[in-house]
Amino acid sequence: MSRRTTSRRASATTPRLNRCLALEDPRRTSDGAGGFLEAWQLLGHHWCEMRALSGRSTDQSGTSLSLQRYRITLRAHPTGSPARPRPDQRLRDGARIFRIDAVAEGDPDGRYLTCFATEETTA
């Protein structure tokens, strides 16, 4: 196999980490009336590759919602590390919010993670 063929094959499987997304963790605090308030704490930033998957529209409480699913790839972090995304967290790009639904190993070598996320927007 030539060097040219090898480099093409490697680049086809290597993600383009060209979007910087903020990883946020939910923090619940008491509201003093038996309930709680939810705030989001910044844990750090990740360079990611985003690929759109399926999307759909739905009505929720009389409001039309657009749900777009994404496959977001980022560099892997060890299990238990605060930098490793979890399904109860979210990724943010400015005003856009991507709720993390699942996290999986992105490649057999464990170099990348894949987050399956949903963005909700009102139509």
Share of the chain above pLDDT 70, in %: 89
pLDDT digits (tens, 9 = 90+) for 68-115: 999 999 999 998 999 999 999 999 999 999 999 999 998 888 899 999
Q: Show me where the domains of the chain are located.
A: 19-120
The tokens for 85 are: 């995304």
The tokens for 34 are: 């038996």
pLDDT given at position 8: 46
Q: Which CATH class is domain 19-120?
A: mainly beta
Q: For residue 45, how many other CB atoms are within 10 A of its CB?
A: 13
- In the predicted model, is pLDDT for residue 6 greater than 50? no
Amino acid in position 70: Y
